[in-house]
Amino acid sequence: MTAAMVGWAHMPFGKHSEETVESMIVKVAVDAIKDAGIEPGDVDEILLGHFNAGFSAQDFTASLVLQADPALRFKPATRVENACATGSAAVHQGVRAIASGDARFVLVVGVEQMTTTPGPEIGKNLLKASYLKEEGDIPAGFAGVFGKIADAYFQKYGDQSDALAKIASKNHKNGVGNPYAQMRKDLGFDFCRAESEKNPFVAGPLKRTDCSLVSDGAAALVLTDPATALGMKKAVAFRALAHVQDFLPMSKRDILKFEGCSKAWGQALGDANLALDDLSFVETHDCFTIAELIEYEAMGLTKEGEGARAVLEGWTEMGGKLPVNPSGGLKAKGHPIGATGVSMHVLTAMQLTGTAGEIQVKNAEIGGIFNMGGAAVANFVSVMQAMK
């Protein structure tokens, strides 16, 4: 165990036009430090996950965290970016700072403000997480990238519309109980399955309910070493973590295999000396429902081409053998890019400390997280367990 989370904070995701990137950073940073029971001056290093890519006029945002308290002045602060896995990239860098002995307490913040950007610009900004040289002209932006993946999957393995609708309805049902979720509404399988005026096709076989939400939000956490964590009021340790980076162009890999995801899961579970069956739940990156479906296969829950079984047979439901996205996932919770990975770690820590409220997985002991940047390009896995 290389590091542990000892405090955290999470604001509701959604449309926050009254907030700014700075105000959201300050809000969660103050709350996370307070939750950890430390003083701001105890923080040795600050890491900010912020994708931006044109969403905010203010760039060079790492030092905005210092606005949370004067005692943070002169602390090293670095902005981290790795597309939609930006938040987990910041968390993993924080863990390394602890493991190296360079820091005793690290503050990690993830933030994004997306909804104040005009619609066409949102699509343009998100498409920057693809290989523009080859994929920049795909219609419908980043949704078009995953629409292309879904088309190819359907062609190889058959129509998966039932499975995708089940993933969407499962996650929206779970999100009802999550106070931080942007959409707390059980849409139901029938609504997610049928094309309608309120649920039109967006790209390929993907409908609106297959796509994650455009969001504003922030989350933060405090890390320390395991020995120090034992003296804190709560502690959730990293049993293992893995980061695997793959080629950016989809043309250089079999896009239906998510090989980077598979390798990251293999490394993390191997380092933790665990099997997938040992996990109590998984928070996985459902930017689009087709992504969650392929991730079932990449993590080893099913064989290739059989991911639909996991959701259609109830394996990934709250009461199933491996609940996936008890938080509601990106589908219901929202997907403020830089905040997503930090949010996944905060909600996992809540599960493992029995403080997840209405979304609590019964007897949760070990949690797995998969956060992905681009189309399975940046692949981060964390395996976590409560220390006390």
Dist. CA 370–CA 335, nearest whole Å: 14
pLDDT of residue 295: 98
Last residue of a domain, one of 172, 194, 229: 229
Side by side, which strands form the sheet with 105-113? Answer: 77-80, 45-49, 105-113, 216-224, 4-10, 236-245, 378-386, 366-373, 281-284
Residue 372 and residue 292 in one domain = yes
* Tens digit of each residue's pLDDT (9 = 90 or more) over 208-256: 999 999 999 999 999 999 999 999 999 999 999 999 999 999 999 999 9
Dist. CA 88–CA 73, nearest whole Å: 24
Residue 251 and residue 319 in one domain = yes
In CATH, what number is assigned to the domain containing residue 36?
A: 3.40.47.10
Last residue of a domain, one of 229, 264, 299: 229
Residue 270 and residue 348 in one domain = yes
> Is 182 inside a domain boundary?
no
> Is 76 inside a domain boundary?
yes
- Residue 293's nearest CA partner among 161, 164, 168, 149 is 164
* Tens digit of each residue's pLDDT (9 = 90 or more) over 183-215: 999 999 999 999 999 999 999 999 999 999 999
Dist. CA 249–CA 216, nearest whole Å: 28
The one catalytic residue in 16, 84, 172, 287 is 84
Structure tokens that stand for 117 in this block: 């950007």
CB atoms within 10 A of CB 136: 12
> Is 168 inside a domain boundary?
no
pLDDT at 1 over 90: no
Instruction: Give the rounded distance of the alpha carbon of 345 from its chain centre.
Output: 8
The one catalytic residue in 50, 92, 243, 335 is 335
> Is 196 inside a domain boundary?
no
335 is catalytic: yes
Residue 231, sorted as left (phi over 0), alpha (psi -120 to 50) or beta, turns out to be alpha
pLDDT of residue 296: 98
3-class DSSP state of 331 = helix
Residue 224 and residue 280 in one domain = no
pTM: 0.98
Residue 220 and residue 297 in one domain = no
Residue 301 and residue 337 in one domain = yes
> Is 54 inside a domain boundary?
yes
> Is 259 inside a domain boundary?
yes
The number of residues making up the chain comes to 388
Residue-number span of the structural domain to which 311 is assigned: 236-386
Q: DSSP of 45-98, one letter per residue?
A: EEEEE---TTS-S----GGGGGGG-GGGTTS-EEEE-BTBTHHHHHHHHHHHHH
Residue type, 276: L
- Residue 61's nearest CA partner among 72, 75, 50, 76 is 50
Residue 13 and residue 95 in one domain = yes
Name the pLDDT band for 140 (thresholds 50, 70, 90).
Answer: confident
User: Strands 105-113 and 378-386, how do they pair?
Assistant: unpaired
> Is 49 inside a domain boundary?
yes
Name the pLDDT band for 178 (thresholds 50, 70, 90).
Answer: very high
> Is 61 inside a domain boundary?
yes
Name the pLDDT band for 12 (thresholds 50, 70, 90).
Answer: very high
Residue type, 86: T
Last residue of a domain, one of 202, 229, 256: 229
* Tens digit of each residue's pLDDT (9 = 90 or more) over 243-293: 999 999 999 999 999 999 999 999 999 999 999 999 999 999 999 999 999
Mean of pLDDT values over 25-50: 98
CB atoms within 10 A of CB 278: 15
Residue 222 and residue 263 in one domain = no
Mean of pLDDT values over 24-48: 98
* Tens digit of each residue's pLDDT (9 = 90 or more) over 88-116: 999 999 999 999 999 999 999 999 999 99
The pLDDT mean for the chain works out to: 97
pLDDT of residue 35: 98
Residue 249 and residue 109 in one domain = no
Residue 61 and residue 9 in one domain = yes
pLDDT of residue 225: 98
pLDDT of residue 170: 98
Dist. CA 379–CA 96, nearest whole Å: 17
Residue 324 and residue 366 in one domain = yes
- Residue 144's nearest CA partner among 118, 164, 124, 121 is 124
Residue 86 and residue 221 in one domain = yes
pLDDT at 141 over 90: no
* Tens digit of each residue's pLDDT (9 = 90 or more) over 279-333: 999 999 999 999 999 999 999 999 999 999 999 999 999 999 999 999 999 999 9
Mean of pLDDT values over 112-134: 95
285 is catalytic: no
Mean of pLDDT values over 51-59: 96
Number of compact structural domains in the chain: 2
